[in-house]
A and B are shown apart, each in its own frame.
Chain A
Amino acid sequence: MVSSGSELTSSERSLRSGWRRVVSLVVGRLVQVALVLLAVTLLTFIILSAIPGSVIDARIGPLPNFSPEERERIVESLTKQLGLDQPLWKQYLLWLRQVIQGDFGYTYQGLRVTDLISQRFGPTVELGMVSVVVGLLGSLMVSLVAFRTRFRVVRGGIQGVMTLLLVMPAFWLGLILVLVIAVKFDLLPSGGYVALGDGIGDHLRFLVLPAMTLALPQTALFFRYLYAGLRDTENASFVIASRARGISERSVVYRHILPNAVLPTITVIGLVVGSLISGLVVVETVFSWPGLGSLLVKSVEVQDYGTVSAIVLITATLYVITAFIVDVVYEIIDPRTRRRV
């Protein structure tokens, strides 16, 4: 681009060093993410190896029709096969290699855990994504209404409802929605799932209630930050200045206040994804949605350690990576963090 540094204006130079800062920050965070993920697998492994009774007993199951000698032989061969005669750190490395290759072993029924999970992955991601989008848009609308309204009743009402939503567990909110929308007015099914291939209309009909149940608490959470952000920026000097210049109220709100209020909200997305994953577990169970969450609950019920630990690892990984992406995006979006030297 420019041949020598001296030709750069000072602002250009600071911008350039700013970008370098972003890159070094991203690399640093990436290393951190890798270390955290490694620690996450280690912790999962430690918890897993605390299973009372041996893994082999769990494998053989409660079948009583083995003689003691037979049992001993099976135990011995399985010990070799599963690498349980190795020292614990070797077992960990062995297990880690399999996990990284996407091999989570088998369930009791002899199904591959990886297959089971990949079937359930799509519906969960769909439900989660839809609810985040709805939650974000909803909170944007609601907080703008609360911010711009002239009536204290409206503002108070919105704040009250949003606070109430934060203390509602997902299954209770889900029950209310089912009672009102499915039972009383019979508008939507109270639970179930239709694959996208079997009719898009039906698919969407089954999607609405679970997505709403997930989206409403998120709306409340985003609202808290957005609304606080709007109130904080309202008194900033550049807002007062643009009002003084006679810029229309609409333009002041949407072009000056809103962008600055949205920025800090982005950092909350990471937080919301955490509560979203926990929410998915409950909501999928409530509405019999065939995703990872309901699979997790079913596997917990039948004590299927393999599937449970696989889902735990996958969600933790997703969570850590989302937090990383949010951090980086925030760094890139907000020019102020870049210019600061």
Chain B
Amino acid sequence: MSVDHSSSMKRIIRLVRRQPKPLLYGLALLVPFLFVAAAPSIIAPYSPFAIMDVPFLSPSATHLLGTDEIGRDLMSRVIYAARADIFVSLSAASVAFVVGTVIGLFSGYVGGRIDTLTMRLVDVFLSFPTIILALFLIVIFGRAQWVQICAIALVMAPSMARFSRGTGLVLRKRGYVEASQISGASTAHIVRSHILPNSMPTLLVAASVLSASAILIASSLSYLGLGAQPPSPSWGNMLRSSFSYVYQAPWYGVGPGICVSAVASAYVLIGEGLRRKFARRRSMMGSTKSLASL
């Protein structure tokens, strides 16, 4: 039994070691954050709203990151903030991913007038600088969390569509696609069971780049006061208040700032790792060069 157990352990270790390093580092960085976001109450030492001590205590053993302007524990607030920021960015990225991919793959596969029309429409959306379009949507539709998610998703979906269109365009010429066409399969069927599975590797790389920019946009919006409303903590709004107290409490914004960058770089690392992992499929990965536009 024990021998069997250790050999399966070995197999797992070998499997893990075979993965590209950036992928491992990225996951190692991201997983704790996901855990914290899922269950902040287990990890946080105090409530994020309770006034624990005098304001502006510097970091110490009882308050690892110090206290804020009304004496709340900053560590607990940073931990609870993970929930808001990670939830918003992940849902926005997922919506953008699904919408963008469906539009892009169909447009690339079908081609012709429909493709041209879709891409011109994408161009129109891409003519608005990201944060500005998001701000515009939020001012019109209000500050609810779902508006925020939709705004970020709408800002990012067009670049995802343009990217996945490229892979659809490449794959439509493949033998198995043509074979499927000849045997009379419907467009929906071909896209779902041939184009989508085969473009998944590149799309996953794009998805991680998308998630990285989603967290940056989400935290920028909450920095600008349009994300989670106080007293609910978010990394962005904590950084915003930290600017008012740079002289009294210089450490105030450091925790939230590191968190935003850590999550964003985790996504970037995962993307880079996935890219290397799938790099064997050269012909497809050539198109990841256009990832920069995401």
Contact = CB atoms under 8 A, between A and B. Distances in A.
Interface of A: 35-37, 39-40, 43-44, 47-48, 50-52, 163-164, 166-172, 175-176, 178-179, 182-184, 190-191, 224-225, 268, 271, 274-275, 277-278, 281-282, 285-286, 296-297, 299-301, 303, 305, 308-309, 311-312, 315-316, 319-320
Contacts, number: 138
Nearest to A314: B132
Nearest to A297: B224
B248 to A, nearest CB: 10
Contacts of A319: 127-129
B127 A36 contact: yes
21 contacts: A36-B120, A39-B124, A43-B124, A43-B125, A50-B140, A51-B140, A52-B140, A170-B220, A175-B246, A175-B257, A179-B246, A182-B246, A278-B131, A282-B220, A297-B225, A300-B135, A316-B127, A316-B132, A319-B128, A319-B129, A320-B127
B132 A168 contact: no
B136 A40 contact: no
B250 interface: yes
Given A172-B260, A271-B293, A183 B246 contact: yes
Nearest to B130: A278
A320 B123 CA distance: 10
Interface in B133-153: 133, 135-142
A281 B132 contact: yes
B136 A47 contact: yes
Contact of B123 (A36, A50, A225, A277): A36
B270 interface: no
Given A50-B140, A164-B265, A183-B246, A274 B130 contact: yes
Contacts of B124: 36, 39-40, 43
B88 to A, nearest CB: 14
Contacts of A274: 129-130
Binding site of A, secondary structure by majority: helix, strand, loop or mixed? helix
Contacts of A169: 216, 219-220, 223, 260-261, 264
Contact of A167 (B120, B131, B265, B293): B265
A300 B141 contact: no
A300 B129 CA distance: 16
A164 B57 CA distance: 30
Binding site of B, secondary structure by majority: helix, strand, loop or mixed? helix
A312 B128 contact: yes
Contact of B132 (A179, A225, A296): A296
Nearest to A48: B140
B220 A171 contact: yes
A12 B219 CA distance: 56
Contacts of B219: 169
Interface string B161-182: 0000000000000000000000
B243 interface: yes
Nearest to A168: B261
B139 A303 contact: yes
B216 A167 contact: yes
A51 to B, nearest CB: 6
A190 B268 CA distance: 31
A300 to B, nearest CB: 5
Nearest to B258: A172
A231 to B, nearest CB: 14
A300 B140 contact: no
B132 A286 contact: no
Interface in B102-133: 120-121, 123-125, 127-133
Contacts of B236: 171
Given A43-B125, A167-B264, A190-B246, 8 more contacts: A36-B124, A44-B136, A169-B260, A171-B220, A175-B242, A224-B292, A285-B223, A297-B225
Contact of B223 (A52, A282, A303, A311): A282
B210 interface: no
Interface string B235-260: 01001101100110010011001001
Contacts of A309: 136
A172 B239 contact: yes
Nearest to B125: A43
A40 B137 CA distance: 14
B96 interface: no
Residue of A35, A268, A281, A286 ringed by the most chain B CB atoms within 10 A: A281
B131 A281 contact: yes
B226 interface: yes
B218 to A, nearest CB: 10
Contact of B250 (A40, A44, A163, A179): A179
A285 to B, nearest CB: 6
Question: Which 10 pairs from chain A and chain B are nearest by CB?
Answer: A167-B264, A172-B257, A277-B129, A278-B131, A39-B124, A167-B265, A300-B139, A171-B223, A175-B253, A278-B129
Contact of B268 (A39, A166, A176, A285): A166
A305 B260 contact: no
A155 B127 CA distance: 36
A275 B158 CA distance: 16
B23 interface: no
B84 interface: no
Contacts of A296: 132, 135
